[in-house]
Structures are given as structure tokens and as C-alpha cells.
């Protein structure tokens, strides 16, 4: 019949598992990609020296921005099931070329976040090993980065449901352990006479822009629930719900963590907070045991972030392989485990090798971590900007545009653009250096797309694949369109 929509016999993203993950397993993807317990003890130590007494408002501002981004993402997540999350969403609003820019930027963000997480995990593992007499340092961290990457790859290839359960359990334990240690450290600092207030920071107001960019890295990855939508049960409900609530819960955790670390910052001085948190010696005889428990928890949290970020990275690469933007082999799924094993095998060596090279060059875990987090923030923020612009365009295209998404999308995109300019102009070396690195990587992505389109002009028309209804769905039980709300 003329005008009747054509029903496919096979989904463009067939090969991945379908309808297996519960809401809590979908939530685990968002939570693990953020690694909140690791962030609680690490990011305040990086933000407070720059922001000083403005640290808490900085985290609140970051939370508001991310909640607004989450609102925009929800406009897509309630209407379509994608395996590449923001990449496919942006294509539907802004077209293939700007959509690819958002997807490529996300690849940079996910990859840099995974790299930073390997460094974080290696730093805490090295601290644990140092307790039993093994030498710590950049060489030890480099070896541990490789071990973390290998174990994460094995678990991710085995299946997303297994890794999701492991990640959620790990984060629950780690958040409790980190919270207990932070409270004890705060109580000891106050007992010893340290004022519960922050230092003045670097003294430069422009540094707050870089601090805000770093604070945003404590939220990025929350949107990655969208990358497992194909594998989720009731995806049009579970994915938006996970994306909507994750920034709110994270904000409460981070404000709490920053408040607990203010006295230590006041006592130790600006720039001296370590990325590996330990209890003061005056905390009592049980401080060593608590510190070990926390270090185990935070190591596991960083490890979960490696898996969460690389899971999102691999599914974006998988989608690009199915579209023809990336080599077709990247779009293959494992016949037994139904995971994008080729994309994982391509991504993980890069995730491991880059931080190892940086560690060898700098010898500083802290510098490498800050640099990779700043690079990751650039990747995420541009993707968020394009997504916010795409939201009203997409809704207008399908005839559902109202005033609220138009206002929220425009304001959020404007604020994020201003943030990038503010951070780049802060005068902090790592901010400018990472902006330059990010710009070069984006130009490389544009060149790769141009080459692919020249060789196969129809590639642009295939960009933005998502899980479509197939003939078997009309007879089976998997009907995601019936749960749209």
C-alpha cells in the first residue's frame, strides 16, 4: 500500500543483546561511567585549589548545567532507542555532519575519561602495594594501567549484564567507604583546630572557569545510559529515568565531599591536596584499616569507570562501523556474548597506551590525571552543546516543539559555550594545552569523515543508526513503543 512504512526484517544494530538489562543495570552504566566515589575523593582535591571558597558553588553550578543537559537528552531518550546515545540523537536534530562532530567529540570524551580512570585506578593500586613494601612511582603506575585495561577488556567482552552488576555493586560499596573516611577526616581536622572553610584559591577569578570545567568532569558520563538502550528492558522509560536522576544524586554527593575536604585544604595549603586520600595519623588506631578499605573501594570505582566509559566508547564505535563511517569490522558483534568485541579490542589498547606514554613523559600521576580530565571535559561539553541545540530542532521536525525545551536548550548551549571560552582563557597551562589537543583531534575527525564521504558518498545518509522496529517485533513481546511516557 502506498505510503505504508516499510518494516525491516533486521535491525541496523542487530547483534547486540536486546531487552535484558533492568532499570538498575541501566543505572549502573550511568553511575559507573561517572565513578562518583572516586570523584568524591579526587575532584575536590583538584577543584578546591583553583576555586578556593567558591568550590561548593562551582559544584552546584555544574550540577544545574548537567541537569539541564539531562532534560534535553530525555527529549530524545523517550522517543528513540539508540546504541550510540548522544551521537544518534544529535544526528536526528542537526543532520549527519554536525551529528558526526558530536559523535566524534563524544569518542574523545569517553576515551579520555577511560584513560583518566586507568590512571586513577593505578594510583590507588600503587598506594595499596606501597603498604606492603612494593615501590610506587610512574613505572609502577604504568604497569598497573596495563593490568587494569586487560581485566576490564575481558569483563566487557563477556557481557554488558555481568559488567553492569559488578559496576553497581562496586560503586555502592565504594561510596559508603569514601563517605565514612571523609567524615572521619573532617572530624579530625575540626578537632585539631582547622577552620571548616576553604582557602582563597589561586587568586584569579578566571581560574574559576577552569575549576568549573573540572567540576563538570565529575558529572560527564551520566548520559551513557543511552548507549545501552538496545540492551535495556523498557528502554523508553529506564534510560530517561537514569539520565534524569543521576545528576541530582551526584550533586548531593559532591557538595558533601567538597565540604568534608575544605578543612584539609585550609591546613595543607593550595595545590597540595593529593589525589589519593588517606586518613590523618591522628584519626586513631583504626585509621589504617579504614584507609585500606577506602583505597580498595576507590580502586574498584575507578575500575568501574574504565568499564563504563569504554562500554559507551565501544558502542559509539560499533554504530559508526554499522554506518560505514568506521571500518565495517568495528560494527561486528560477538556471536556468543553479543558484545561489540572488535570495537572493544580496538579501543582498549589506545586507552592503555596513551596514559602510559604520558606517565613516562611527566612522571606525575596528578598532572596526567588533570590533563586527561580536561581533555575529556572538552569532548563531552561540545557534544552537550550540539545536543542542546539539536533538541528544539528535533522536536520541531516531528511537530512536538514547545517553549520549555526551546528555552532550556538555548540557554544551556549558551552557558556551555561561555564556559569553554572562560576555561581556555584562564591562563592555566593545562587548560590551554588540552584545548589545543582537542582542536587537533576534532580536525582529524573532520578529515576522516571527508575521506569516507569522498570514497562512499552514501555514508552521510547512513549516519545516525538506531534500533528500529523489525517484523519479528510485531509478533513478539519486545515492543518498546508501548511503554513510551
DSSP 142-161: HHHHHHHHHHHHHHHHH-HH
Output 191 or 235, whichever has higher pLDDT.
235
Q: Does the pLDDT value for residue 483 go beyond 80?
A: no
Q: Does the pLDDT value for residue 429 go beyond 70?
A: no
Residue 466 DSSP SS3: coil
The reply to whether 12 falls in a domain is no
For the chain, the domain total comes to 1
Q: How many CB atoms lie within 10 A of CB 407?
A: 11
Asked whether 225 and 34 are in contact (CB, 8 A), the reply is no
Q: Does the pLDDT value for residue 484 go beyond 50?
A: no
Give residue 395's pLDDT band: very low, low, confident or very high (50, 70, 90): very high
Asked whether 350 and 111 are in contact (CB, 8 A), the reply is yes
The reply to whether 95 falls in a domain is yes
The reply to whether 475 falls in a domain is no
The reply to whether 356 falls in a domain is yes
Alpha-carbon gap, residue 47 to 258, rounded angstroms: 9
Alpha-carbon gap, residue 348 to 368, rounded angstroms: 18
Q: Does the pLDDT value for residue 120 go beyond 80?
A: yes
Quick one: pLDDT at residue 265? 55
The answer to pTM > 0.95 is: no
Give the residue from 61, 63, 89 showing the smallest Cα distance to 75.
89
Asked whether 51 and 426 are in contact (CB, 8 A), the reply is no
State mean pLDDT over 80-91: 85
Alpha carbon distance, N-terminus to C-terminus of the chain: 30
Q: Does the pLDDT value for residue 179 go beyond 50?
A: yes
State mean pLDDT over 317-343: 86
Share of the chain above pLDDT 70, in %: 80
Alpha-carbon gap, residue 178 to 15, rounded angstroms: 39
**Per-residue pLDDT reduced to its tens digit, 41-76:** 777 777 777 677 778 888 899 999 999 999 999 999
Reduced 3-state DSSP string for 276-305: CCCCCHHHCCCHHHHHHHHHHHHHHHHHHH
The reply to whether 278 falls in a domain is yes
The reply to whether 16 falls in a domain is no
The reply to whether 467 falls in a domain is no
Quick one: pLDDT at residue 105? 95
The reply to whether 462 falls in a domain is no
Q: Does the pLDDT value for residue 280 go beyond 70?
A: no
Domain limits at 63?
A: 23-453
Q: What is the CATH number of the domain that holds 163?
A: 1.20.1740.10
Residue 218 DSSP SS3: coil
State mean pLDDT over 353-373: 86
Least confident of 81-85, 124-128, 247-251: 81-85
Give residue 212's pLDDT band: very low, low, confident or very high (50, 70, 90): confident
On the CB side of 301, CA atoms within 13 Å amount to 27
State mean pLDDT over 229-255: 87
At 323, list the grid cell: 554506518
CA–CA distances in Å: residue 305 to residues 22, 163, 231, 333, 458: 20, 11, 19, 22, 36
Amino acid at each position: 500500500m502506498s505510503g505504508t512504512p516499510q518494516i525491516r526484517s533486521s535491525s541496523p544494530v542487530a547483534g547486540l543483546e536486546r531487552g535484558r538489562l533492568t532499570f538498575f543495570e541501566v543505572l549502573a552504566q550511568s553511575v559507573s561511567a561517572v565513578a562518583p566515589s572516586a570523584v568524591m575523593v579526587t575532584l575536590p582535591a583538584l577543584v578546591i585549589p583553583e576555586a578556593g571558597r567558591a568550590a561548593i558553588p562551582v559544584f552546584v553550578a555544574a550540577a544545574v548545567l548537567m541537569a539541564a543537559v539531562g532534560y534535553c537528552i530525555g527529549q530524545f531518550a523517550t522517543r528513540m532507542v539508540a546504541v550510540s546515545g548522544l551521537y544518534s540523537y544529535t544526528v536526528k536534530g542537526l543532520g549527519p555532519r554536525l551529528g558526526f562532530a558530536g559523535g566524534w567529540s563524544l569518542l574523545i570524551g569517553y576515551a579520555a575519561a577511560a584513560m583518566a580512570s586507568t590512571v586513577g585506578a593505578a594510583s590507588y593500586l600503587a598506594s595499596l602495594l606501597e603498604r606492603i613494601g612494593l615501590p610506587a612511582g610512574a613505572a609502577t603506575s604504568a604497569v598497573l594501567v596495563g593490568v587494569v585495561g586487560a581485566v576490564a577488556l575481558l569483563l566487557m567482552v563477556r557481557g554488558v549484564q555481568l559488567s553492569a552488576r559488578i559496576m553497581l555493586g562496586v560503586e555502592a560499596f565504594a561510596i559508603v567507604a569514601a563517605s565514612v573516611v571523609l567524615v572521619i577526616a573532617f572530624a579530625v581536622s575540626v578537632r585539631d583546630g582547622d577552620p571548616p572553610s576553604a582557602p582563597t584559591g589561586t587568586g584569579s577569578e578566571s581560574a574559576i572557569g577552569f575549576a568549573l570545567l573540572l567540576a563538570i568532569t565529575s558529572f560527564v558520563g551520566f548520559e551513557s545510559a543511552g548507549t545501552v538502550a538496545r540492551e535495556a528492558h523498557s528502554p523508553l522509560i529506564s534510560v530517561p529515568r537514569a539520565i534524569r536522576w543521576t545528576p541530582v544524586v551526584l550533586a548531593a554527593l559532591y557538595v558533601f565531599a567538597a565540604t568534608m575536604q575544605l578543612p584539609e585544604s585550609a591546613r595543607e595549603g593550595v595545590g597540595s591536596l593529593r589525589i589519593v586520600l588517606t586518613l590523618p595519623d591522628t584519626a586513631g588506631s583504626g585509621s589504617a584499616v579504614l584507609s585500606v578499605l577506602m583505597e580498595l573501594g576507590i580502586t574498584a570505582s575507578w575500575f568501574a569507570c574504565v568499564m563504563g566509559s569504554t562500554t559507551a566508547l565501544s558502542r559509539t564505535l560499533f554504530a559508526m562501523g554499522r554506518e560505514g563511517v568506521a571500518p565495517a569490522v568495528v560494527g561486528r558483534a560477538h556471536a556468543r556474548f553479543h558484545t561489540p568485541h572488535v570495537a572493544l579490542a580496538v579501543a582498549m589498547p589506545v586507552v592503555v597506551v596513551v596514559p602510559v606514554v604520558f606517565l613516562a613523559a611527566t612522571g606525575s600521576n596528578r598532572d596526567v590525571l588533570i590533563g586527561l580530565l580536561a581533555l575529556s571535559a572538552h569532548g563531552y561539553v561540545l557534544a552537550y552543546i550540539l545536543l542542546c541545540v539539536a533538541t528544539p530542532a528535533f522536536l520541531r521536525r516531528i511537530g512536538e516543539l514547545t517553549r520549555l525545551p526551546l528555552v532550556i536548550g538555548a540557554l544551556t548551549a549558551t552557558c556551555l559555550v561561555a564556559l569553554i571560552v572562560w576555561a581556555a582563557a584562564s591562563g592555566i597551562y593545562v587548560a590551554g594545552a588540552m584545548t589545543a589537543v582537542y582542536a587537533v583531534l576534532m580536525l582529524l575527525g573532520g578529515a576522516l569523515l571527508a575521506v569516507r564521504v569522498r570514497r562512499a558518498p552514501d555514508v552521510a545518509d547512513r549516519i545516525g543508526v538506531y534500533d528500529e522496529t523489525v517484523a519479528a517485533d510485531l509478533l513478539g513481546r519486545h515492543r518498546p513503543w508501548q511503554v513510551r511516557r
